[in-house]
Amino acid sequence: MQQAARQAQPEHTLSPEELRKMNAYWRAANYLSVGQIYLLDNPLLREPLRPEHVKPRLLGHWGTAPGLSFIYVHLNRIIKARDVDMFFVTGPGHGAPALFANTWLEGSYSEFYTDVPLNGEGMRRLFRQFSFPGGVPSHTAAELPGSINEGGELGYSLVHAYGAAFDNPDLVVACVIGDGEAETGPLAASWHSNKFLNPARDGAVLPILHLNGYKIASPTVLARIPHEELESLLVGYGYTPYFVEGDAPERMHQQMAATLDRIFDDIAAIQRRARREGAKERPRWPMLVLRSPKGWTGPKEVEGQKVEGFWRSHQVPFGEVRTRPEHLQLLEQWLKSYRPEELFDENGAPRAELLDLAPAGPRRMGANPHANGGLLLRELDLPDFRDYEVEVPRPGGALNEATRTMGVLLRDVMKRNAAACNFRVMGPDETGSNRLSALFETTGRAWMAERLPEDLGLSPDGRVMEVLSEHLCQGWLEGYLITGRHGVFSCYEAFIHIVDSMFNQHAKWLHAMKETPWRRPIASLNYLLTSHVWRQDHNGFSHQDPGFIDVVLNKKADIVRIYFPPDANTLLCVTDRCLRSRNLVNVIVEGKQMAPQWLDMDSAIKHSTAGIGIWEWASNDHDGAPDVVMACAGDVPTLETLAAVDVLRQLVPSLKIRVINVVDLMTLQPKEEHPHGLGDREFDSLFTTDKPVIFAYHGYPWLIHRLTYRRTNHKNLHVRGYKEEGTTTTPFDMTVRNDIDRFHLAGDVIDRVPGLGYRAAHIKQHLRDKLIEHEMYIVEHGQDLPEVREWKWPY
């Protein structure tokens, strides 16, 4: 096996003066980290520390902070020495004190937060605000300059880093991965992102695995396997790992400096080979393993118990500072061990020799514009979606696979923005399966691993990203969007639940962004959910779950949008709208199967702009009030509703039915709850105030009740949807099992419309007979009744 990994030897990379200054800078960062965790006042210790200078609630994480600062200081050196465009992704997000410290030291923090200037008063505020009511969270978040990664839920640092690096050839994303985070599934999968990164076209990611050995209360796996096994693992992931290990600061500084020089030489060489020499093979990118003590430079022991280099330093190493004088003294000693008087001038500003070490302007990692991607966002050049119209001579008069049509639109979006290099489509190996294959007419699948002669459409330059990991698709796209680009994620509906928590965190990120004035709007995260619950013809029960919508709806109304285009032309309208939007999460749910088309382009534009509307052509209540309202949201529910209308017209021609179709689910919510919500008067004019409403809904039926319980006519609302019944069966049988098929819907109407007299029982019997006929037919033939399969809207 290739001996690719090397341990760098400490050298005299840094002059004594450089070493002294860098260590001072690091001491300053550590001092500021401890100060944030502990101090309310007296930030510079210019008077003896008293209990009232200490925060009443000590909340924060010390353990990882000194290691993060160590890395930050050394990356600063590299940036200055080589003029590198780089920013910092903080996997161990609870090490935020280090990041606040470093962005403050380099001056970027005070530019974003002018009330926290680079002086003693600023330092006091920096300390006080940390993990303090009305202040800043104790982990990295949108409020932190230079951050693209929420550090609360662990696992996404590396995939975000890769997302940021794609299509940014001059960027280096330094990504610190905690050894705790490294145990998570998403992180474990993220290492393989290097098979999707093209050294000619994309930037570089520098993974820095930070082994400080411990999680909250136990060791980490990667810190407790033999060195050679870890090396083998990282080589197996496709990297060349360099190790920097130890605890003696001076030696560690030299080793780190030498190693980073080596690494940035490697990166430059890889990029040169790919860009100038046209090398096509996947390079073995360098990475760094930093093994340093948890709580490095903190108290070695507290009351006889090991703290530095152990999990006891994970959060606050000792806490009774306000009540126990010995703890107060310990804190003062600890803070003074950094010799603040040497680090800060009389005004409390960092001394000039420290300030000199930081890069300048946008080269400061806290001020890198990529980390505030809205600054760099370019509008997509979008074709006129009307040009992709599917001919629909009359409602139901055409068949089409809606997502295939969307694929053609996306192909042209891809084509028009090829030069801008700012649009990608992600999916877990389902782009073709989801009928978006027109994309492959203009681009390939991104692929840097080995290729064989028979391969189709793989390309280092591909802009479709496929990997069998929803986590990677989601994480890459998040990183790509937050750094100012655009994209779409297409996924099987049931399996998007795999990234529920990532969606949650992204929605929270967007919410926090909006409350952070200097954060500029970014492109929305657009989901196409297809292969949905109603059409799992050869999959089964495990592939049926429309509940992601419920998860999405728990987030802030100003962030989330959910669309159910009933056909291809509506899907085109909605797609265009989503691609133009900012700071949202847009969920589009659409089947991929051949299905009847209802609206021509003009009608589709009108309908999707309104988001909800009466389909006059399907209704027969034109000359008065309806007897019943039949509402639908989703392509299959729409089909079954219209088929039920047909059944009812034949059985009870006199019945006046109003058909309402919902494209934009948010219209159902009260106006006060969501910006797309209908006013009560509008809602009542659609749904009446007293007629029965049969609502066929794509997902779990109670969601519709949740959205509409305040509406006047809610008491007459009867919702059908997916109720967790299903297996591998025919499309129509799936609807029957969940009582949302045409015959059940027609029966629901009959049950609720008064005045049908003796006819009601007769009709119900007929509908039951149809269902029995269906049952018998599919068991015999394995497919749906011809009259169902071939049904067309006949009016």
Residue with smaller CB distance to a second copy, 577 or 720: 720
Question: Residue 244's beta-bridge partner residues?
Answer: 290
Least distance (Å) from a second copy to the CB of residue 74?
26
Residues 193 and 467: their CA atoms lie apart, in Å, by 9
Residues 32 and 35: their CA atoms lie apart, in Å, by 5
Least distance (Å) from a second copy to the CB of residue 123?
17
Residue with smaller CB distance to a second copy, 36 or 570: 36
Residue with smaller CB distance to a second copy, 496 or 756: 496
Residue with smaller CB distance to a second copy, 472 or 763: 472
Residue with smaller CB distance to a second copy, 789 or 792: 789
**Cβ neighbours around 391 below 10 Å, total:** 11
3-state secondary structure of 522: coil
Least distance (Å) from a second copy to the CB of residue 544?
8
Least distance (Å) from a second copy to the CB of residue 718?
11
Least distance (Å) from a second copy to the CB of residue 541?
5
Token pair in block for residue 256? 């780190």
Residue with smaller CB distance to a second copy, 486 or 543: 543
Least distance (Å) from a second copy to the CB of residue 179?
9
Number of residues that this document lists for the chain? 795
Residue with smaller CB distance to a second copy, 539 or 619: 539
Which residues, other chains included, contact 588 with Cβ-Cβ below 8 Å and sequence gap of 6+? Answer: 526, 527, 528, 529, 563, 565, 571, 574, 575, 578
Phi, psi of 44 (to 5 degrees): -95, 5
Residue with smaller CB distance to a second copy, 181 or 576: 181
How big, in percent rounded to 5, are the helix, strand and coil portions of the chain? 45, 15, 40
Least distance (Å) from a second copy to the CB of residue 450?
4
Residue with smaller CB distance to a second copy, 421 or 557: 557
Residues 563 and 573: their CA atoms lie apart, in Å, by 11
Least distance (Å) from a second copy to the CB of residue 591?
17
Token pair in block for residue 338? 């950094």
Q: What are the distances in angstroms from CA 434 to CA 121, 402, 547, 729?
A: 57, 10, 19, 20
| Cβ(89)–Cβ(160) below 8 Å | yes
| Cβ(290)–Cβ(246) below 8 Å | no
Token pair in block for residue 79? 């940036």
How many helical (H) and strand (E) elements, i.e. helices and strands, does the chain have?
Answer: 25, 23
Residue with smaller CB distance to a second copy, 94 or 486: 94
Residue with smaller CB distance to a second copy, 493 or 567: 493
Least distance (Å) from a second copy to the CB of residue 232?
4
Least distance (Å) from a second copy to the CB of residue 736?
10
Angle at 127 between CA 123 and CA 130, to 5 degrees: 140
- Amino acid of residue 443: T
| Cβ(258)–Cβ(28) below 8 Å | no
Residue with smaller CB distance to a second copy, 233 or 651: 233
Radius of gyration of the chain (CA): 30
What's the N-to-C CA distance of the chain in angstroms? 72
Residue with smaller CB distance to a second copy, 148 or 604: 148
Q: Counting Cβ atoms within 10 Å, is residue 661 exposed (0-12), middle (13-18) or buried (19+)?
A: buried
β-pairing, 285-291 vs 525-530, is unpaired
Least distance (Å) from a second copy to the CB of residue 338?
23
Residues 282 and 284: their CA atoms lie apart, in Å, by 7
Largest distance between two CA atoms of the chain: 101
Which residues, other chains included, contact 784 with Cβ-Cβ below 8 Å and sequence gap of 6+? Answer: 730, 731, 732, 733, 774, 777, 778
**Cβ neighbours around 222 below 10 Å, total:** 21
Q: Which residues of 92-121 are buried (b: 16+ CB within 10 A; e: fewer)?
A: bbbbbbbbbbbbbbbbbbbbbbeebbbbbe
Residue with smaller CB distance to a second copy, 245 or 616: 245
Least distance (Å) from a second copy to the CB of residue 112?
17
Closest-CA residue to 658 (of 697, 722, 612, 591):
612
| Cβ(613)–Cβ(669) below 8 Å | no
| Cβ(448)–Cβ(195) below 8 Å | yes
Residue with smaller CB distance to a second copy, 152 or 383: 152
Question: Residue 173's beta-bridge partner residues?
Answer: 87, 205
Least distance (Å) from a second copy to the CB of residue 53?
13
Least distance (Å) from a second copy to the CB of residue 218?
6
Least distance (Å) from a second copy to the CB of residue 704?
10
Least distance (Å) from a second copy to the CB of residue 493?
12
| Cβ(40)–Cβ(128) below 8 Å | yes
Residue with smaller CB distance to a second copy, 344 or 503: 503
State whether the Cα torsion 711-713-714-717 is positive or negative.
Answer: negative
